[in-house]
Structures are given as C-alpha cells and as structure tokens.
C-alpha cells in the first residue's frame, strides 16, 4: 500500500504547482511530520502544508478505544503573502497536537500557541477554516487503507492566524463572529504583518 504522507504530498503538489521545499520534524514520542512549502505562485502567495497528521485517524484524548482506521483525518495549509519560512516548525507543532494532546483538528477549532507564529509576528493563535481550498483525499480509492465502511478522507484545513485579542473574541463569541469581523474589516489574512481587526 502507498504511504499516506506520500499520497498527501502528491495531492498537494497537484493543487499547488511550483517550487517545493520543506522540512521534517519529529517531537519526542511522535511520528515524523513533514511540512512542505509550495510557491510563491503568480500572485506571490506561499502555501505551507503538513503531510503526516493523517497517517492515522484522530481521536479525542478521552477516547477509551482508538479505531486504527475509522475517524477524521486532517492536514493543515497556511497561506501567506509573502512567505515566512520560520513558520515551518510552528506548523509542525500544530500538526502534532492530535498525537501529543489528543486534539481533533477540524473546522472552527482554535489553537493558542501563546507565542508568535514566527519571529516578530503579531499573531500567536490560529483558527482552522472550513474553506475547501484543496479537495479531500480519498485514501480508500488511493489504495492506502482497506476498503471498509466509515473510513473518512483526508481533509485539508486552512490555518488562519489570529492575534491575542482575536483569539479571545473567538473563544467568547465563536469563530463565526470573528470571521464576520474579518469580512467587515476587509482583513487580509494572507498579510503576515497585519494588525488585529479589533484595532480598526
């Protein structure tokens, strides 16, 4: 059977053609995680994407039994204009949370790292979006897992950086409220130097 990370990287390369570079990061007690850099594209956008989270389905820390095949699978995609390659390790930290903390990554999830996502950044937390920028990857059709009922595809969640006060608002009022605030303020989420939408 083909390795899931290899399938993920090929799937991403089809969605984001262009120069590719990356890094492999291993945290104590976890499987290796790859973070690849795609681009910049013609508009100057660089994509940073994980490959390795989806090797196994995610289960909450409270689960008494972890099904080795069934359960949600995810990878993360961060888009910036221009790129900040220092974010590679930070994205790997986010990708390790299912293994380390039993966090199930999905649309609307918020993760607060309590430190800048890259040196000098104003953003220190992330919201996982629900925009399907990359189509789901069917692992059964790709021959990576047995053909069984309930095997979910790999979903690719956009990583939306948040400032401290934006993260606090998302926790208090919900992710939908913050997304509306960003729309109302015409916030450029691709700008690595943007200020909080709450200061406008």
DSSP 63-117: -SS--SS-EEEEEEEEEESS--TTHHHHHHHHHHHHHHH-----TT-EEE-SS-S
Sign (positive or negative) of CA dihedral 41, 20, 5, 63: negative
Name the pLDDT band for 32 (thresholds 50, 70, 90): confident
pLDDT surpassing 70 at residue 102: yes
pTM for this structure? 0.93
Q: Are 66 and 50 in contact (CB under 8 A)?
A: no
**Residue 53: helix, strand or coil by DSSP?**
helix
Band of residue 137 on the pLDDT scale cut at 50, 70, 90: very high
Characterize the bridge pairing of strands 151-163 and 71-80: parallel
Q: Cα–Cα–Cα angle for 119, 122, 127, nearest 5°?
A: 105
Percent of the chain with pLDDT over 90: 68
Q: Is residue 200 scored above 70 in pLDDT?
A: no
> Mean pLDDT over all residues of the chain?
90
User: Using 50, 70 and 90 to split pLDDT, how confident is the model at 27?
Assistant: confident
Q: In which residue are the tokens 């994407």 written? A: 49
């Amino acid at each position: 059977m083909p390795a899931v990370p290899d399938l993920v990287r090929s799937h991403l390369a089809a969605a984001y053609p262009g120069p590719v570079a990356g890094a492999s990061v291993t945290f104590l007690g976890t499987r290796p995680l790859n973070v690849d850099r795609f681009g910049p594209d013609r508009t100057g956008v660089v994509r940073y994407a994980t490959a390795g989270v989806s090797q196994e389905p995610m289960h909450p820390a409270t689960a008494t039994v972890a099904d080795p095949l069934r359960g949600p699978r995810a990878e993360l995609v961060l888009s910036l204009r221009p790129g900040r390659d220092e974010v590679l390790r930070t994205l790997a930290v986010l990708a390790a949370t299912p293994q380390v903390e039993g966090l199930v990554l999905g649309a609307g999830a918020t993760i607060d790292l309590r430190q800048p996502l890259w040196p000098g950044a104003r953003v220190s937390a992330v919201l996982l979006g629900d925009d399907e920028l990359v189509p789901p990857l069917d692992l059964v059709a790709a021959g990576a897992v047995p053909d069984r009922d309930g095997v979910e595809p790999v979903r690719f969640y956009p990583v939306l950086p948040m400032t401290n006060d934006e993260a606090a608002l998302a926790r208090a009022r919900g992710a939908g409220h913050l997304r509306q605030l960003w729309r109302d303020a015409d916030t450029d989420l691709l700008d690595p130097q943007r200020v909080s939408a709450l200061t406008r």
